[in-house]
Amino acid sequence: MKKLFFSTLLLCFLLFTSSFINIVIAKSVFCDKQCKKRCSKAGVMDRCIKYCGICCGYCKCVPSGTYGNKHECPCYRDMRSSKGKPKCP
């Protein structure tokens, strides 16, 4: 009985963690390039790239250009910080 419980728990854990692998792979390939382009004219580039990467990993898109065009990616546009301000640069 204990072996079955631990086997099931291990399987659930592996399935849960594997869902994050896709986000990391997508972020590293697509998001890094798009966020560097988006943040190329930012005053605080490392912070811009950090938040852009978070938003891109979640939304799987980044608006074109260095500013604006957020209508191209509604998820990116609508993400808010805990203070209610736009999270994504």
Q: pLDDT (tens digit, 9 = 90+) per residue, 13-46?
A: 666 665 555 555 545 678 999 999 999 999 999 9
- pTM for this entry: 0.66
Q: Is the pLDDT of residue 3 over 80?
A: no
The residues near 87 (Cβ < 8 Å, ≥ 6 apart) are 51, 54, 55, 79, 80, 81
User: Does some domain include residue 62?
Assistant: yes
User: Does some domain include residue 22?
Assistant: no
From the list 17, 87, 19, the residue with the least C-alpha distance to 53 is: 87
What domain range is 42 assigned to? 30-78
Q: Identify which has the larger pLDDT, 15 or 64.
A: 64
User: Does some domain include residue 17?
Assistant: no
Question: pLDDT value at position 70?
Answer: 94
The residues near 35 (Cβ < 8 Å, ≥ 6 apart) are 48, 49, 52, 53, 56, 62
